Amino acid sequence: MTQAEPEAAESVVVESFHYDPIQADAEPIQSIPGVEEFFEDYLELDYEPARVALGKQLFHDTRLSNDNTLSCSSCHDLRYAGIDRSATATGVRGQVGPINTPTVFNSAFNFSQFWDGRASDLEAQADGPPNAGGEMDSNWEEITTKLSQDKVVMDMLSAAWPDEDFSEGIDSRFWLEAIADFERTLITPAAPFDQYLQGDPSAISEEAKQGYQLFKDVGCTECHNGMAVGGKSFQRLGRKRPYFNSHTGGVDLGRFNITGDEEDRHNFKVPALRNVALTGPWFHDGTQESLSEAVRSMGEFQLDLDLSDGQVQRIVAFLVSLTGEYEGRSLRDVQNTAASNQ
Ligand code: HEC
Ligand code: HEC
């Protein structure tokens, strides 16, 4: 059901609130599986721990940047839900970039990578930052020269591909595959919402249950659905009310920059909402400073709906219940620990 009238939404949804019983098979959102099941059943890939181990090393390795100052994890800090906690990213030599850093957690669910979807998969994506002048400003030849002098890394590479002979040189595709395989392990199952989906009614608050019902009723699930609660289509930001009043340059053109097609102007990949409570500031331009603000804007610009404070609060409670676990620990706890050690 879509609410066309903001006032109707207010009176119907807030005054006499109901929510439907959960039917896991019929819900627009599904639970995230464990890592091995994800590789084998969902991605139909072999789970190779030696490749994952190499990828983890590379992800945290500053030798991927020209001046050895930045690794992938500098911008995608796994202790902080895979982001840099800034409106836009900062590359080598303090260069401030034009766009917000999305999380690497659950990026394996995305049907394409980057806000504008210009990389078709994680391997193609990982080729971007090392070569980007504004990010790591290096290239694979330079990186391979540095890494091939490190016996630990070379042993990990041989363990990952025991049948390959690397004595004549190393194709960058091996580094990229290892990084991508590591990223495929960065999925976050066991969120309170997943426990709720799996039949535990006490896993989330009443407020979050009502928020989920609203999320479905007002039409958020049209774009944000599936295991990752997004990542499955391109959609225009400002579909119902103009978002880009005067600001129509650069990265704000979104997918138009890739296709040149008018239809794609201001189209962005719908972000996955797993762990979204921890990944602010929000939107491709990093303009939304609170989750409430982001939810309110979505109602306005995507659905032509002025959500009430109570509705926003319920939806936020639902979104908070999407915070999952990595290596058996809630990302929320991981972040709190990191913050208290700073
Ligand atoms: C200087 C900061 C920075 C560094 C270093 C960096 N990234 Fe990113 N990453 C970003 C930004 C900013 C974006 C979004 C760019 C865009 O969409 O145009 C991004 C996008 C991504 C995405 C796409 C996620 C999505 O939802 O579309 C993945 C995956 C990713 N980075 C992984 C990596 C890996 C792997 C490395 C190391 C090889 C890396 N990043 C290095 C800032 C950085
Ligand atoms: C027509 C498709 C569509 C609908 C409907 C929609 N969204 Fe979105 N949502 C998007 C797109 C596209 C973005 C990325 C915006 C950008 O480019 O900055 C987004 C971004 C978000 C973000 C920020 C994520 C981030 O990592 O920055 C949140 C939170 C969000 N949506 C929640 C909602 C909620 C809640 C609703 C319902 C009230 C909703 N969305 C309805 C398409 C949609």
- What is 278-324 written as a DSSP string? GS-SBSTT--B-SHHHHHHHIIIIIH-----HHHHHHHHHHHHTT--
Look up the CATH number of domain 6-32+188-233+270-340: 1.10.760.10
Kindly report, residue by residue over 257-272, the tens digit of the pLDDT: 999 999 999 999 999 9
At 200 the pLDDT is: 93
Mean pLDDT of 1-23: 55
- Spatial CA neighbour of 212 closest among 225, 149, 200: 225
At 245 the pLDDT is: 77
Per-chain mean pLDDT for the chain: 93
Lowest pLDDT segment from 20-34, 54-68, 77-91: 20-34
Mean pLDDT of 46-56: 98
Mean pLDDT of 10-27: 66
Of 125, 144, 177, which is best to mutate to test ligand 1, by the most ligand atoms within 8 angstroms of its C-beta?
125
Classify 194 as helix, strand or coil: helix
Give how far Cα 97 sits from Cα of 87, 129, 177, 283, Å: 10, 12, 26, 15
Mean pLDDT of 81-110: 96
- Every domain range in the chain assigned CATH 1.10.760.10: 6-32+188-233+270-340, 35-184
At 1 the pLDDT is: 45
Q: Is the pLDDT of residue 243 over 80?
A: yes
- Spatial CA neighbour of 269 closest among 301, 239, 234: 234
At 11 the pLDDT is: 39
Q: Which ligand neighbours the alpha carbon of 13 most closely?
A: 2
Residue count of the chain: 342
- CB of 276 sitting under 6 A from ligand 2: yes
Distance (angstroms) between ligand 1 centre and the Cα of 273 equals: 17
Mean pLDDT of 131-139: 94
Q: Is the pLDDT of residue 8 over 60?
A: no
Confidence of residue 6 (pLDDT cuts 50, 70, 90): very low
Lowest pLDDT segment from 154-168, 233-247, 299-313: 233-247
For residue 305, the ligand 2 atom closest to its alpha carbon is: 38
pTM over 0.85: yes
* Superfamily per CATH, domain 35-184: Cytochrome c-like domain (1.10.760.10)
Residues having CB within 6 Å of any atom of ligand 1: 59, 64, 70, 72, 74-76, 89, 91, 97, 99, 101-102, 104, 107, 110, 113-115, 122, 125-126, 129-130, 135-136, 179, 183
